[in-house]
């Protein structure tokens, strides 16, 4: 069978001769709808009439201020400036005056409201800083710069300083572990403004009247007293709290949380007992009398805790140990004996730390003289050593003594 090649097959299967192409529609030469131009003209006239009606009845004005949704915040809006910046506050007030120039009274009223709002924002910022220090006390030093910038415009504002003091005290009462940082923050504020301390003292007095047995308040006052170098005002308040906590009547009547109150009192005495005893000896005596009276009503663990504090005071609050005090008592008693002769040659101790007796010292002196003499007449030589070994050993001892 032979291969036959036919003509190539085309992919286009349409008719061999196509008709002419259709001309595009032209609105300028449209014979299909002769009334189209009239329809368009009527529609345009109706639209212009509707626009004129809106312009004549609308209350909108081209001079109206721009409107933004409440969620919109412009990049150059003065409200975005940090509230802790003094320049930011001044710019806010200036912007408020520019936007309300119609009536002086209205401007003054708005300014006062705005200033109150700014103060609240700054107090909120300080509250956040206090919370951050509570969570991480290591942030205290780095947060001081921010605190200083925030409080700078309010150093003469008694009301603002009082609110700040209340923030600090409330946090210390809520979280007792914050007491140390709270006292440091109060000391910092007292250095910044002399008006802070009177408000803080009045606030603490009020809290003592309201919460006479509050443990957190006692710990806070103890930290204040310790860090303020025995400030008299804080010392008086602290003693008042301590006397409330150790009242033996509360122990006998089993009223309140006396065991925990006693633990806090002992903790505070360990911290501030030395300072209190130096300035308020009679008050400290009263507190320890109450502790002694309450021993019969305490558990063994609390008795041990109270006894530790009593022993601490007996050793001058840890400044001297008990053995030293006992030795001082013995020395004072011997000093009263006219027949007692003081040892002026010094005191010698053995390897075990015990003082050497007179016989032991004499024996050591004799041995020292013997070794330094270099004589070998009394040497106890090993009988197993031959003559040559004995001579060498004696020569070794002589060389050793001479060196």
Which pLDDT value is given to residue 254?
A: 58
User: Which residues touch 188 (CB under 8 Å, ≥6 apart)?
Assistant: 144, 147
Q: Which of 87, 75, 158, 72 is nearest to 118 (CA)?
A: 87
The answer to whether residue 368 scores a pLDDT higher than 70 is no
* Confidence at 54, pLDDT banded by 50, 70, 90: low
Query: Where is average pLDDT lowest: 9-23, 222-236, 281-295?
Result: 9-23
Which pLDDT value is given to residue 370?
A: 52
Q: Provide the b/e sequence for 245-282 (b: ≥16 CB within 10 Å).
A: bbbbebbeeeeeebeebbbbbbbbbbebbbbbbeebee
Beta carbons of 261 and 246 less than 8 angstroms apart: yes
Which pLDDT value is given to residue 86?
A: 47
Q: What are phi and psi of 53, to 5 degrees?
A: -65, -40
* Mean pLDDT along residues 240-261: 80
Which pLDDT value is given to residue 226?
A: 92
Which pLDDT value is given to residue 358?
A: 77
* Confidence at 14, pLDDT banded by 50, 70, 90: low
User: Which residues touch 28 (CB under 8 Å, ≥6 apart)?
Assistant: none
CA distances from 344 to 214, 240, 341, 348, 382 (A): 58, 52, 9, 12, 42
Which pLDDT value is given to residue 99?
A: 56
| Nearest-angstrom CA–CA distance, 320 and 206 | 39
Which pLDDT value is given to residue 296?
A: 83
* Mean pLDDT along residues 365-384: 60
Between 86 and 385, the more confident residue is 385
Domain segments of the chain as ranges: 79-174, 211-335, 369-403
Beta carbons of 281 and 256 less than 8 angstroms apart: no
> HSE (CB half, 13 Å, CA atoms) of 74?
7
Strand partners, 349: 355
Q: Tell me the percentage of the chain whose pLDDT exceeds 70.
A: 59
* Confidence at 59, pLDDT banded by 50, 70, 90: confident
The answer to whether residue 301 scores a pLDDT higher than 80 is yes
Beta carbons of 265 and 246 less than 8 angstroms apart: yes
* Confidence at 92, pLDDT banded by 50, 70, 90: low
CA distances from 249 to 244, 294, 340 (A): 10, 9, 51
User: Which residues touch 175 (CB under 8 Å, ≥6 apart)?
Assistant: 134, 216
| Nearest-angstrom CA–CA distance, 94 and 103 | 15
Which pLDDT value is given to residue 180?
A: 94
| Nearest-angstrom CA–CA distance, 155 and 151 | 6
Which pLDDT value is given to residue 217?
A: 95
The answer to whether residue 38 scores a pLDDT higher than 80 is no
| DSSP-derived 3-state class of residue 13 | coil
| Nearest-angstrom CA–CA distance, 151 and 182 | 16
A 10 A CB-CB count for 239 gives: 20
The answer to whether residue 322 scores a pLDDT higher than 70 is no
Which pLDDT value is given to residue 270?
A: 93
- Sign, CA torsion 360/361/363/368: positive
Alpha-helical segments (H) within 6-103: 36-57, 86-99
A 10 A CB-CB count for 33 gives: 10
Between 360 and 334, the more confident residue is 360
The answer to whether residue 103 scores a pLDDT higher than 60 is no
Which pLDDT value is given to residue 378?
A: 53
* Mean pLDDT along residues 349-364: 73
Which pLDDT value is given to residue 73?
A: 59
């Amino acid at each position: 069978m032979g291969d036959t090649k036919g003509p190539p097959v085309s992919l286009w299967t349409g008719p061999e001769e196509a008709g002419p192409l259709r001309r595009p529609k032209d609105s300028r030469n449209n014979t299909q709808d002769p009334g189209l131009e009239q329809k368009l003209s009527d529609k345009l006239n109706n639209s212009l009439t509707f626009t004129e009606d809106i312009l004549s009845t609308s209350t909108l004005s081209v001079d109206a201020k721009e409107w933004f949704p409440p969620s919109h915040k412009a990049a150059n809006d003065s409200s975005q400036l940090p509230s802790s910046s003094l320049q930011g506050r001044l710019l806010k007030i200036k912007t408020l005056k520019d936007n309300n120039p119609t009536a002086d009274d209205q401007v003054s009223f708005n300014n006062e409201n705005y200033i109150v709002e700014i103060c609240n924002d700054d107090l909120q910022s300080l509250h956040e800083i206090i919370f951050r220090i509570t969570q991480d006390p290591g942030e205290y030093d780095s947060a001081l710069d921010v605190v200083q910038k925030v409080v700078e415009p309010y150093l003469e504002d008694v009301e603002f300083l009082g609110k700040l003091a209340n923030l600090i005290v409330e946090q210390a009462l809520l979280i007792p572990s914050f007491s140390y940082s709270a006292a440091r923050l109060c000391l910092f504020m007292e250095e910044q403004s002399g008006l802070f301390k009177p408000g803080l003292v009045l606030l603490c007095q009020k809290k003592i009247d309201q919460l006479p047995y509050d443990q957190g308040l006692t710990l806070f006052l103890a930290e204040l007293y310790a860090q303020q170098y025995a400030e008299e005002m804080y010392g008086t308040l602290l003693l008042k709290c301590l006397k409330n906590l150790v009242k033996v009547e509360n122990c006998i009547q089993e009223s309140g949380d006396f065991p925990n109150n006693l633990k806090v009192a002992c903790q505070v005495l360990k911290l501030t007992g030395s300072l209190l005893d130096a300035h308020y000896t009679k008050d400290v005596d009263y507190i320890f009398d109450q502790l002694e009276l309450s021993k019969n009503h305490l558990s063994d663990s609390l008795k041990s805790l109270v006894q530790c504090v009593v022993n601490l005071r007996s050793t001058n609050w840890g400044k001297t140990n008990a053995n030293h005090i006992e030795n001082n008592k013995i020395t004072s008693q011997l000093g009263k004996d006219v027949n007692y002769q003081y040892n002026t040659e010094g005191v010698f101790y053995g390897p075990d730390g015990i003082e050497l007796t007179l016989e032991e010292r004499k024996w050591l002196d004799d041995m020292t003289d013997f070794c330094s003499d270099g004589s070998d007449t009394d040497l106890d030589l090993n009988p197993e050593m031959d003559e040559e070994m004995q001579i060498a050993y004696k020569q070794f001892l002589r060389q050793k003594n001479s060196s």
